[in-house]
Amino acid sequence: MTGFLVRRFASVVFVLWAMTVVVFAIVHVLPGSVAHMILGEYATNEAIADLELRLGLNDPLYLQYWRWFTGLLQGDFGNSLTMDRPAAPLILEALGRSAILASISIVLVAIIGIGLGIHSATHVGSWSDRALTLMQYFFIAVPEFFWCILVIIFFAVWLGWLPATGYSPIAEAGLLGWAKHLILPVSTLVLGLIAHVSRLVRSSMLEAIESRYVLAARAKGLPERLVLRRHALPNALLPAITVLAVDVGILMGGIVVVESVFAFPGLGRMLIYAIENQDIPLMMGGMIVITAVYAIANLVADILYAVLNPRIRVSGSAG
């Protein structure tokens, strides 16, 4: 088990480091100079040359990378070019807000997804099961950005029930107002994922229910409830956990679009803003942070999976 953990950890560290190299390389392939970005289009050539000297932009790339990398390790992401203040606090604040959105979404996806999946599996063929299956086909296939538009048209413009913007600080609108603003963005994020997770849980439950262990347990005369809980459920949950980890990645992709449309000031929005405005420190820092979160989510999922699934522990590899 320890060996497995160590290897996974090392893998995460490697991935993060490789990301810094990739991001740095890509960003420095971008046309236009950083000094130009800082000083704006009205700078004189002398001012630009001067700034480039001061920022060390004429040094060889590997030196610049080293400087940036060591800065990263100390928590210094450099200064945002467009907002003229340290990038790290900006990124972390935005991350915090996105984390709220993501946490609420993942919790909802887990609870509702797993719940619906179990219900479907234990009531196969009922109208609720069929209705669910139909909805699942539907929700999986609708693109996130389209959902946002639909939902805005429907709930905010036509019905006027819910606010069309995603963010209202608790201090201002109170807990209820804050929650109300979150309803539309969160629902847009979770619908597809709930469909995904519930289908998965349903199929794994069904598989487990028909498996040998369960047959044996039933043959022993155990009550159905117990059979389900002790034998079917754990086996059904295992794939659900891996899928949840993958869903974190999908969630992040979805967050980028959802935050843009609903004006939610999170990390996804900040990243798009940074890319559009070529705010390089913000862009690089944001990408690293998102990758880190995703890598950690995957790590956690892998660990959970290994803890729950004895077969993996022994063989030492997970897929």
Partner 1 sequence: MRHIPRTLWVGGTIVTAICILAVLGPWIAPFDPDAFAVRSRLEPPSATHWFGTDEFGRDVFSRVLAGAHHSLLMGFGATLISLVIGVPLGLIAAFRRGWTEETIMRGVDLMISIPPVLLGLLILAVSDPGLFKTILAVGLVYVPIMTRVSRAVALDLLAEDFVEAARARGEGGYHILVREILPNAWPPLIVETALRITFAILLGSALSFLGLGPQPPDSEWGLMIAESRPFISEAPWIGLAPGLCLCLLLIAVNVVGEGLRDLLDPRLRGRGHG
Partner 2 sequence: MLLPRRSALAIPALVGAVTLPRPGAAQSSGGGGVLRIAMSSNLRNLDPAKMTIGEEFMYAVFVFNGLVRMKEDQSIEPELAESWTYSDDLKTWEFKLRRGVKFHHGREMTADDVITTYRRVLDPATSSPSRSNYEMIEQMEAPDPYTVIFRLSYPYGGFADILSDRQVKIIPADRIDDLATRPIGTGPFTFRSYTPGDRVVFGRNADYWETPPKFDGVEMRILPEMSVRIAALQAGDLDVVWDLGPENIRALRDVRNVRVESVATASWDGAILNNTIAPFNDVRVRRALHLAVPKADVAEVVLFGEGSPTHSPIAPSHPFFANDIPFPARADAAGARRLLREAGHPNGIRVPLVIPVGRPVRERLGVTLQQMARPAGFEFEIQRVPFARYAAEVAGKVPIYVDGYFARPTIDTSTYPFLHTRGSQNARLWMYSDPRVDAALDAARLSGDVNVQKTHYLAMQRAMVDNPPGYFAYAQKFACAYRTAVRDVKTHPMRWFDLRAGSIGA
Binding site for partner 2 (CB under 8 A): 31-33, 36-37, 39-44, 46-47, 50, 82-85, 89-90, 92-97, 99-100, 103-104, 107, 152, 156-157, 160, 163-165, 167, 169-171, 175-176, 179, 260-263, 265-266, 269-270, 273, 275-278
Angle (CA) 52 274 18, round 5°: 80
Given partner 1, partner 2, none, residue 309, with its beta carbon under 5 to 8 Å by kind, binds none
137 near partner 1, judged by CB under 8 A: yes
Options 9, 66, 69, 146; binder of partner 1; rule CB under 8 A: 146
Listed residue (66, 78, 87, 90) closest to 17, CA to CA: 66
131 CB-contact burial (10 Å; exposed 0-12 / middle 13-18 / buried 19+): exposed
- Report how far residue 256's alpha carbon sits from residue 25's, in angstroms, rounded to the nearest whole number: 23
Given partner 1, partner 2, none, residue 82, with its beta carbon under 5 to 8 Å by kind, binds partner 2
Given partner 2, partner 1, none, residue 206, with its beta carbon under 5 to 8 Å by kind, binds partner 1
214 near partner 1, judged by CB under 8 A: no
- Report how far residue 55's alpha carbon sits from residue 35's, in angstroms, rounded to the nearest whole number: 8
Given partner 1, partner 2, none, residue 294, with its beta carbon under 5 to 8 Å by kind, binds partner 1
Q: Which residues of 280-314 are buried (b: 16+ CB within 10 A; e: fewer)?
A: bbbbbbbbbbbbebbbebbbebbbbbbeebeebbe
The 3-class secondary structure across 181-223, one letter per residue, is HHHHHHHHHHHHHHHHHHHHHHHHHHHHHCCHHHHHHHHCCCC
Choose the binding region for partner 1 from 25-33, 102-110, 177-185, 225-233 (rule: CB under 8 A): 25-33
**Alpha-carbon distances, residue 274 vs 69, 78, 277 (angstroms):** 19, 14, 5
- The contact set with partner 1 (CB under 8 A) reads 11, 14-15, 18-19, 22-23, 26-27, 29-30, 137-138, 140-146, 149-150, 152-153, 157, 196, 199-200, 202-204, 206-207, 239, 243, 246-247, 249-250, 252-254, 256-257, 271-272, 275, 278, 283, 287, 290-291, 294-295, 298, 319
